[in-house]
């Protein structure tokens, strides 16, 4: 079962398969195939890592369907494309507004009331699979020293989780995106050890994962993608919790859609 604590979620005594989807970015076809795999896998948990709209042209449909699915077996994380302040996006490109106005004939300000209550407020910032993995959209940084930093993060830590990217050099550096961090293997190792897990699973850079899961930091970081808008093949990362996740055998954990 899923237990929500502040802005994070924890899988309590999980069994069976966990299916992890990366960025969707309006790829409704890939989204529906991911849902079909979940429905065909008894007892599985489906996890989305954020960025549901923008870039692709069916983001509104993805959001509307996912909003009706979030429960103890379908977990949705916040991505940087779900980061709004007072109804305005903190990111670009922002295509969802015109989808709303063109497809539904609704002003953005009116749609946002539903969007915030039924979707944004139900997203979590991180998912912990005890002993196995930390799942986030972007990455980590040195400010994360324990579970409390994920449960009740300050704004800087939240931006780090939503926007950060791994770097092969040790240390932590400003991100060229203008927000978040570039974090090295030493930062990854420190955060994972503090949380008692073995790997960081993230999305945020689907171009890295057009041909399948992309490992970095000696297998401590795995980048995923479940969208075709950057080319390549959308996929799910499958973790059989009775066997764990082996970063050296990512092929057997990959379900192409």
pLDDT computed for residue 91 by the predictor = 98
Q: Measuring CA to CA, which residue among 8, 21, 72 is closest to residue 51?
A: 21
Q: Which domain holds residue 171?
A: 2-256
pLDDT confidence band for 12 (50 / 70 / 90): confident
**Which residue, among 30, 13, 10, has the nearest Cα to 21 in the 3D structure?**
30
93: confidence class by pLDDT, cuts 50, 70, 90: very high
Q: What is the pLDDT of residue 16?
A: 87
Residue-wise pLDDT tens digits, 17-41: 999 999 999 999 999 999 999 999 9
Q: Give the closest residue to 11 by CA, choosing from 109, 103, 124.
A: 124
Number of folded domains in the chain?
A: 1
Closest of 219, 135, 223, 217 to residue 170, by C-alpha = 217
pLDDT reading at 14 higher than 80: no
Q: What is the pLDDT of residues 75-85, one digit of tens each?
A: 999 999 999 99
Residue 172 is predicted with a pLDDT of 98
We report the CATH number of the domain holding residue 84 as: 3.60.21.10
Based on DSSP, count helices (H) and strands (E) in the chain, helices before strands: 7, 17
């Amino acid at each position: 079962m899923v237990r929500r604590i502040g802005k994070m979620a924890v899988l309590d005594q999980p069994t069976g398969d966990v299916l992890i989807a990366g960025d969707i970015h309006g790829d409704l076809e890939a989204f529906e195939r991911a849902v079909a795999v979940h429905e065909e896998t008894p007892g599985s948990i489906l996890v989305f890592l954020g960025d549901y709209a923008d870039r692709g042209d069916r983001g509104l449909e993805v959001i509307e369907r996912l909003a009706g699915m979030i429960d103890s077996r379908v977990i949705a994380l916040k991505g940087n494309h779900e980061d709004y302040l007072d109804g305005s996006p903190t990111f670009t490109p922002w295509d969802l507004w015109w989808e709303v106005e063109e497809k539904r004939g609704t002003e953005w300000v009116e749609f946002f009331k539903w969007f915030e209550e039924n979707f944004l407020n139900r997203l979590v910032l991180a998912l912990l699979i005890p002993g196995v993995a930390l799942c986030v959209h972007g990455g980590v940084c040195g400010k994360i020293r324990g579970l409390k930093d994920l449960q009740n993060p300050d704004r800087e830590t939240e931006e780090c989780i939503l926007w950060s990217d791994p770097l092969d050099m040790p240390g932590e550096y400003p991100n060229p995106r203008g927000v978040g961090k570039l974090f090295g293997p030493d930062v990854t190792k420190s955060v994972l050890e503090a949380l008692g897990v073995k790997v960081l699973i993230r999305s945020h850079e689907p171009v890295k994962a057009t041909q399948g899961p992309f490992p970095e930091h000696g297998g401590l970081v795995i980048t995923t993608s479940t969208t075709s808008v950057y080319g390549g093949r959308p996929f799910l990362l499958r973790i059989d919790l009775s066997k764990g996740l082996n970063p050296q055998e990512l092929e057997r954990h990959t379900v192409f859609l």
